[in-house]
Structure 1
């Protein structure tokens, strides 16, 4: 059976960071990222439960390359909580780039929860469930349990970072997790002998995430 044919009231659609800065023309643009926005809005109509996440960084966030003199975007450094990719300044609170893409407005309107993440200036937050210290919860798991959710269906940006980390943490919290790859796009930066996509997919498969 096609997993997309059997959505139920025990499923939640988690739309990860459908924001202008992650789309072409944005400060951390994901190639073709805007192409998934209208399809995600249509997909949301099939779900009783919808959650949308929103990167919401203060200016000067520790994950910005501009906060580390001599460093460049996509360098990897070690912060107190572990390795951190340094990013171009993006999704700064109150700036236009932090806004949702207009084509995803239908999904945003259906959302029972809009979850802002990455607001702690000292800790990044890829996952919808935990900050990057892997210890500080966002509260999403409890919200979903209260709604009777058993499976998280994940879409949005970017596949190899915020989507994959959210899927891994959904499994960590005991939910089934399904990533709809046609509704995501990846940053795809070099990582070890492969790319960030290879690393993300290997981790998700090990954790029991479905695709």
Structure 2
């Protein structure tokens, strides 16, 4: 299904497109097919006037660190840490770098660095806490620039992308998710995630070619 967007009022969000979520860092959180999303993320960039990126920039020791891979997804129970994860995307390591082929961080119009505190592991781009009360400034930046639509891709579909989509919808944005520009940690959950987000109002396209731009200047 093709969708039309107004270039002037559309922004593109790359959620956590980092090497820590790829096979380049096999001991972190490798997502099958993650390296394949770069061309589609770059195509997304042509669909809107502004580009935003979020990054997990984690400390070397954190409350969510799993003792072994077998402990991953176990509950933690802290206010801002829900479950355990393999150590990933630690500041200063390869895992925290953006995927090769993407623009340097400073070429994006806005960046969000999240999960920098050892007792807070947020997923979405818009808030620093799990309860969605501590803003990262991304919402305010978009509203100030008169953005009403966001095109979202990145890693991973079933966690940080999903949460970012829900937050964007709750904040009143029209949300388009390009499936070709995202991959899931747990591929078996994809259909459920898509159904849930569609019910909340998100629009899904199979590729960036399905996003038709008007008012490009």
Structure 1 distance, partners of 2:55, 2:76, is 24
Distance 1:122 1:199 in 2: 29
C-alpha displacement of 1:200: 2.6
Matched, 1:8 2:1: no
CA-based RMSD of the aligned residues comes to: 2.2
| Contact kept in structure 2, 1:44 and 1:110, CA below 8 Å | no
Tell me the TM-score normalised to structure 2 length.
0.83
Which of 127, 145, 168 is matched with 2:143 structurally? 145
Instruction: Give distance in 2, aligned partners of 1:78 and 1:97.
Output: 23
Matched, 1:117 2:114: yes
Q: Give 1:34 shift.
A: 0.4
Deviation at 1:29?
0.7
Of 201, 213, 216, the match for 1:208: 201
From the superposition, tell whether residues 162 and 11 of structure 1 become closer, same or farther in structure 2 (CA, over 3 Å). Answer: same
* Cα distance, 1:110 vs structure 2: 4.2
Distance (Å, rounded) in 2 between the aligned partners of 1:44 and 1:128: 17
Pick from 149, 168, 171 the counterpart of residue 170 of structure 1.
168
1:84 and 1:9, CA in 2 relative to 1: closer, same or farther beyond 3 A?
same
Aligned length: 201
How far off is 1:185 after superposition? 0.6
SS state of the match for residue 103, structure 2? helix
**Superposition deviation, residue 54 in structure 1:** 0.7
Distance 1:92 1:123 in 2: 14
CA separation of 1:134/1:79 partners in 2, compared to 1, >3 Å: closer, same or farther? farther
Secondary structure of the corresponding residue to residue 177 of structure 1: strand
Distance 1:43 1:153, change over 3 A: closer
Aligned-residue offset at 1:95: 1.1
SS of residue matched to 2:101: helix
What is the deviation of 1:93? 1.0
> Runs of 4 or more off by more than 4 Å in structure 1?
none
User: 1:192 — aligned with what?
Assistant: none
**Structure 2 unmatched runs, 5+:** 205-217
Q: In 1, distance between residues paired with 2:6 and 2:22? A: 28
- Could you tell which deviates more after superposition, 162-171 or 82-91? 82-91
| TM-score of the aligned structures, taking structure 1 as reference length | 0.86
**Equivalent position of 2:133 in the other structure:** 135
Q: Is the 8 A contact 2:64 2:76 kept in 1?
A: no
> Does 2:153 correspond to 1:155?
yes
- Could you say which residue in structure 1 is the equivalent of 2:123? 126
Of 83, 86, 90, the match for 2:84: 86
Of structures 1 and 2, the one scoring higher in RCO (CA 8 A, sep 6+) is 2
